[in-house]
Amino acid sequence: MRKLAAGNWKMNGTAAELAEVDALVASHGAPSVDILLCPPATLLSRMSDRAGDAIATGGQDCHANVSGAHTGDIAADMLVDAGAGYVILGHSERRTDHGETDAIVAAKSTAAYNAGLIAVICVGETEGQRDAGDTLNVIAAQLANSVPDAANGANTVIAYEPVWAIGTGRVPTLEQIAEVHDKMRADLVARFGETAKDMRLLYGGSVKPSNADEIFAIDNVDGALVGGASLKASDFSAIITALENA
């Protein structure tokens, strides 16, 4: 399995920030891990043109339908047309801001597969759910209901992003990350069999150059989904290098 360093630019970036991509291309010409950047949709085509072969690009969402009267939405085929190879689905910000349920995330993931995209399906507990001791049950239910039956190691990446760790500088303990990733692997193997051993399991939530080494040393952590630290080439580059050395 090739590990994956993924950056989620969220609602950040205009043409000027494409210089960060140029800097990444310059320093990671032949990476030993997969590199993915998911910019706002407005930058996707231009970023894809500049990212070359070493860096894949992805959308941050897609619609479940292939076309039609859905103002403001983007179909999976349109992401492919703009150069994307991946799409992030079910990010907690979309679950919260746009009321996306597990069923919606599963429908979008199926649309992504049909377009030939790799789905990066996000799961994660809130702070209240963790405090209540519900983390493993919440994650298991999100996986069971957000990941379609057609998932396999080639078309699906899972990102574990505790909601309370996103953009806060707070990170779970290494034991807490390991516990969730081990359980996710076990659940996925129980459901999908051997192919789930090749499914990349990313950790996301306040990953920085300063904590990447210890996070990447955890079993069943096959990379990261990075928000804020993916916006600057110097920070993201250090995280990529940490993953290459893990």
Which of 20, 100, 161, 222 binds ligand 13P (CB under 6 A)? It is 161
Site string for ligand 13P, 96-135 (x = CB under 6 A): ----------------------------------------
Residue that is written with structure tokens 């396999």 in the block: 152
**Window contacting ligand 13P (CB under 6 A); options: 27-35, 42-50, 97-105, 220-228:** 220-228
**Dist CA 161 CA 163 (whole Å):** 6
Phi first, then psi: what are they for 84, rounded to 5°?
-75, 150
Select from 134, 190, 192, 187 the least CA-distant residue to 162.
Answer: 134
Least distance from ligand 13P to the Cβ atom of residue 194, Å: 28
Residue 89 burial (C-beta neighbours within 10 Å; 0-12, 13-18, 19+): buried
Stretch that binds ligand 13P, among 12-20, 67-75, 102-110, 205-213 (CB under 6 A): 205-213
C-alpha–C-alpha distance, residues 216 and 239, integer Å: 10
Closest-by-Cβ residue to ligand 13P is 227
Q: What is the DSSP letter of 16?
A: G
8 makes contact with ligand 13P (CB under 6 A): yes
Beta-carbon count within 10 A of 32 CB: 11
Query: 86, 120 in Cβ contact below 8 A?
Result: yes
181 catalytic residue (yes or no): no
User: Measured between alpha carbons, how far is 29 from 236 in angstroms, rounded to an integer?
Assistant: 14
- The nearest distance, CB 167 to ligand 13P, in angstroms, is 4
Residues 109-121, buried b or exposed e (16+ Cβ, 10 A)? bbbbbebebbbbb
Catalytic residue flag (residue 91): yes
CA dihedral 32→8→126→191, nearest 10 degrees, is -50
DSSP 201: E
State in angstroms the smallest separation of the CB of 216 from ligand 13P. Answer: 15
For 97, residues 6+ apart whose C-beta sits below 8 A from its C-beta are none
Nearer to ligand 13P, 138 or 189 (CB): 138
> Can residue 227 be called a binding residue for ligand 13P (CB under 6 A)?
yes
The reply to whether 221 sits near ligand 13P by the rule CB under 6 A is no
| Residues in binding contact with ligand 13P, number by CB under 6 A | 14
Q: Among residue numbers 78 through 97, which ones bind ligand 13P (CB under 6 A)?
A: 91
Q: Of the residues 91, 93, 100, 181, which is catalytic?
A: 91
Is position 228 an interface residue for ligand 13P (rule: CB under 6 A)? Answer: yes
Q: Does 60 bind ligand 13P (CB under 6 A)?
A: no
Residues with a known catalytic role: 91, 161
Interface contacts to ligand 13P, rule CB under 6 A:
8, 91, 161, 166-167, 204-207, 225-229
